[in-house]
Structure 1
Amino acid sequence: MTSNDVDGGFAEFRTGWKVVMAAFAGLMFGAPTLASYSIGLLAPELVKEFGWSFSFVLSGLMVVVVAFLPLAPLVGVAVDRYGPRRIGSIALVTFGLSYMGLALSTGSQLQYWLTWVLIALSGVGATAVTFTRAIAGTFAARRGLALGIALSGTGFCVIFLKLTGQPLIDAFGWRTTVVMFGALPILIAMPLVLLGTPRTIVGASSLTRNAGERHQSDEGLRLGQILRGRTFWILVLAFVPVAFGGAAFPNLENIFRHAKVPHELIPVITALIGASMIIGRIFGGYIIDQIWAPLVAFVVVVLSMIGCLLLSLPVMQPWQAATAAILLGLSAGVEIDLLAFLVVRYLGLRNYGVIYGLLFGLFMIVAGGGPTLMGYAYDQTGSYSTILWWTGWGILLLGSSVLLLGRYPEQRPPSPVAAK
């Protein structure tokens, strides 16, 4: 009986905790998190100063995700070849500097879009494509929990931004606040990624070679087999619609204002998203190690649907707003964990980077384009109710397809793999 058998796989954390810490920091201040959850705070300031529409300001996210779709799989290939340490640390620095460029906005819409193009190009390596590869290659028995802890960094970022963003803007102005936010990936995340991520991560390595379930770097289906098979397309069908539910996040402050939620409660309620994200990531990560993960994914689909339907109410009581925020936070907290976990369990590690990169790119297209579409709906109708109502039911209809994944494929016998 191995040490991992005795303690249920938690021995992995004794040697792998630095990898989790590094991934946590990279995901907390990575490109999708910082850009997506700060734009809602900055949007009213940009609208006020430059006279832009709300949908145009949020279109910056669309620029990012359009670039992410072709680039994320390429980054996945690079991560598989060069390792997450090198790719992640470089991307965090370039992303932070590019994000600071928003502070130089002059009112030119072309300049604003070009800044977001630069953010996308420089930040595509500072995403879950990079940092979940480090976790997937280091952990096996407790892979879900390790992913959940690392990905909870996004929840902590949301809490930080929602509670500090407006006070910083009020005290120093939005331009200085942008520079402060842009410094976080460089001064905090990048050093921790360098310190905590091994130079080489091959597979579920010597850190975990005694656990019952093991993967080599060459285990799993070939790329052509994956793209011709049903599993990949079920993942696309199930997860891409759920991503659209997250499109409410950058619009949330505006949704609550127009639903007559008391102004003083809005920062507290929106911060609940971050807290529930953290709970969802860690608890969800633990649960998917214990039970059939597609069932957990279906629960996430239902939570996301209910959250969207609550947000569609034209007038919300504070408890309804808080419930919607918590449900969407829990859903967002588990979905990326699940996506990474399901890719490894059903498709293997052989082409993890490129497959997860492709799925993540599609996910980000919807997650980034959704806020722009919701902002456009608001600009045209003065309400978010209709689009949120349809979003909720669409998520349930398409997201339920995750139950078609079936049983986990058989795992191959363990084989020792070294990692440095």
Structure 2
Amino acid sequence: MTPQPPGPPDGGWGWVVAFSAFAVNGLSYGLLRSLGLALPDLAEHFDRSAQDTAWISALALAMQQAASAGWALVFAPALGTLSRYFSRRRVLAVGLALTGNGVSSLFLAPALQLLLDTFGWRGALFLLGAVTLHLTPCGALLRPLSLPGDPEAPPLNPLAALGLGLFKHRAFSVFALGTALIGGGYFVPYVHLAPHALDRGLGGYGAALVVAVAAVGDSGARLVCGCLADQGWVPLPRLLALFGALTGLGLLAVGLVPAVGSEDDWGGPLLAAAGAYGLSAGSYAPLVFGVLPGLVGIGGVVQATGLVMMLMSLGGLLGPPLSGFLRDETGNFTASFLVCGSFILSGSFIYLGLPRALPSCRPTSPPATPPPERGELLPMPQV
């Protein structure tokens, strides 16, 4: 009789996978978060509107998560593999990996502004493309891991391999709907936070500082929230709804910040609002992937990760162009951030159905073994 493989090691090579996922996040989402600094130059060079130039980042986000042969094929396996290596410290590991987004934004935002001033937008984008080539070795660090509950053979049906059967589970369907709505507003600051700061009267480096402050808050919150969430004091679905709602409120605050008097003004209110948004969005991010094992079982995590990215890509495709359209119609980004913040609040409200749809996520005292909401005690769904 073939012995069952042990459970997640909660460390070991998993930390190498976490480093790989950290680099993937930094070279993908971190770059896209800073790319908004280049949009005004692109709009001026091609004589296009904010709505038109927003499609650049929107298509990049959508292709990254849906079907791109580059970022998408690195990001989904990195996060899915990482979730399989950890149990009790899963949310912490995911949060640590996702800090790559904020850490890289902290350096890329001022660096991109310097490149734009020195080489122009063409040279700056060429150099950023060269930097992303460092994604290549990240995939070599993703060592496969066998776990109890894994299928003995991969599904022969291509549709089954996609994991579409996961939508038959009410809990995952509720989660998917809420995540799709949140995706409609979550990525707008990646594209339009810097242009919004410029519209509010800040200079180029002032706008870069706003992006950097949001990145610092984002990075710190991902790590701290991951550590606290693993303590099991509050069910993950409720934390997901809470921090999703706070992210939406943060976007509303960013949109309502008044203009500054001059380019020399550091824009204190906007910096504070951007920092609050970064803290909330950073707390939300690791929970999205940390809750998946409790929804689909540990054996379905990789498929579920891909489906979640597909759903968020729909929002990433539609949100920034809608934001650009509202900016063209109103003359500023206030309405853009208000509408996108409302999308996130709506998705967070839907998350409130998760504790009822997922009974194993009711509050309990933390046991010695991993709690059910981490997914190890749930059977793998048949897809």
TM-score, scaled relative to structure 2: 0.79
Partner of 1:40: 36
1:108-146, CA deviations, whole angstroms, 9 ceiling, x for partnerless residues? xxxxxxxxxxxx34332132x121112111111111111
Q: Does 1:201 align with 2:184?
A: no
Residue correspondences, number: 340
Residue number in structure 2 paired with 1:308? 251
CA distance in 1, matches of 2:132, 2:65: 22
Q: Which residue of 1 aligns with 2:292?
A: 343
Alignment partners' CA distance in 2, 1:70 and 1:360: 7
- In the alignment, which residue of structure 1 is the partner of 2:368? none
Q: How far off its partner does 1:305 sit?
A: 2.2
Q: Partner of 1:249 in structure 2?
A: 190
Conservation of the 8 A alpha-carbon contact between 2:9 and 2:85: no
Aligned to 1:113: none
Q: Confirm whether residue 55 of structure 1 aligns to residue 55 of structure 2.
A: no
Decide which of 292, 307, 310 is 1:358's aligned counterpart: 307
- Please say if 1:295 is aligned against 2:244: no
Return the alpha-carbon distance in structure 1 between the equivalents of residues 62 and 9 of structure 2.
Answer: 41
Spell out, residue by residue over 1:183-241, the C-alpha distance to the aligned partner (whole angstroms, 9 max, x if none): 2232x3433542x332x2233xxxxxxxxxxx54349xx95653122211211232233
Distance 1:331 1:252, change over 3 A: same
Q: Find out whether 1:137 has 2:133 as its counterpart.
A: no
1:206 paired residue number:
none
1:374-413 equivalence runs, <5 A: 374-406=323-355, 407-408=359-360, 410=372
Within 5 Å, give how 1:11-410 maps onto structure 2: 12-30=10-28, 32-34=29-31, 36-67=32-63, 71=67, 120-127=68-75, 129-186=76-133, 188-194=134-140, 196-198=141-143, 200-203=144-147, 216-218=149-151, 223=163, 226-243=166-183, 244-261=185-202, 264-291=205-232, 292-313=235-256, 315-316=258-259, 318-406=267-355, 407-408=359-360, 410=372
Q: Segments of 4+ in structure 1 off by > 6 A? A: none
Indicate if the aligned counterparts of 1:133 and 1:353 stay in contact, CA closer than 8 A.
yes
**Secondary structure in 2 matching 1:351:** helix
**Alpha-carbon distance between aligned partners in 2 of 1:309 and 1:255, rounded to the nearest angstrom:** 13
Structure 2 SS opposite 1:260: coil
Question: CA 1:382 to 1:25, structure 2 compared with 1: closer, same or farther past 3 Å?
Answer: same
Q: Which amino acid aligns with 2:102?
A: G
Cα deviations across residues 323-375 of structure 1 (Å, max 9, x unaligned)?
22112222332333212111112211323222221121111221342111111
What CA distance in whole angstroms lies between the structure 1 residues aligned with 2:257 and 2:231? 40
The CA distance in 2 between the partners of 1:234 and 1:158, in whole Å, is 32
CA contact (8 A) 1:47 1:54 kept: yes
**1:78-116 CA distance string (max 9 Å, x none):** xxxxxxxxxxxxxxxxxxxxxxxxxxxxxxxxxxxxxxx
Amino acid at match of 2:255: S
- 2:306 & 2:9 partners in 1: Cα distance? 29
**Counterpart amino acid of residue 159 in structure 1:** L
* Per-residue deviation, 1:262: 6.2
User: How much does 1:15 deviate?
Assistant: 4.3
Q: Do the aligned partners of 1:68 and 1:361 also contact (CA within 8 Å) in 2?
A: no
Aligned letter for 1:238?
G
What is the SS of the residue equivalent to 1:312? helix
CA RMSD of aligned residues (A): 2.8
Residues in 2 aligned to 1:368 and 1:413: alpha-carbon distance in whole angstroms = 36
1:10 is displaced (CA, Å) by 12
1:324/1:245 Cα in 2 relative to 1: closer, same or farther (>3 Å)? farther
Following the alignment from structure 1 to structure 2, what is the Cα–Cα distance between the partners of residues 227 and 10? Answer: 25
Residue 250 of structure 1 contacts residue 371 of structure 1 at CA under 8 Å; is this kept in 2?
A: yes
8 Å Cα contact 1:238-1:401 kept in structure 2? yes
Contact 1:28 1:154 (C-alpha < 8 Å) held by counterparts: yes
After superposition, the Cα gap between the structure-2 partners of 1:376 and 1:43, relative to the gap in structure 1 and judged at 3 Å, is same
Q: Is the 8 A contact 1:278 1:333 kept in 2?
A: yes
- CA contact 1:377–1:384 (8 Å) conserved in 2: yes
Counterpart-to-counterpart distance in 2, 1:161 and 1:50: 24
CA contact (8 A) 2:65 2:71 kept: no
In structure 2, what is the Cα distance between the partners aligned to 1:133 and 1:50?
A: 39
- How many Å separate the matches in 2 of 1:365 and 1:24? 24
**Residue 294 of structure 1: CA displacement?**
1.6
Does the 8 A contact of 2:24 with 2:135 survive in 1? yes
Sort the Cα spacing of 1:69 and 1:300 in 2 relative to 1 into closer, same or farther, 3 A: same
- Secondary structure of the structure 2 residue equivalent to 1:124: helix
- Asked whether the 8 Å contact 2:327–2:336 carries over to 1, the reply is no
TM-score normalised by length of structure 1: 0.73
Question: What are structure 2's unaligned runs of at least 5 residues?
Answer: 1-6, 153-159, 261-266, 362-371
Q: Is the 8 A contact 2:8 2:84 kept in 1?
A: no
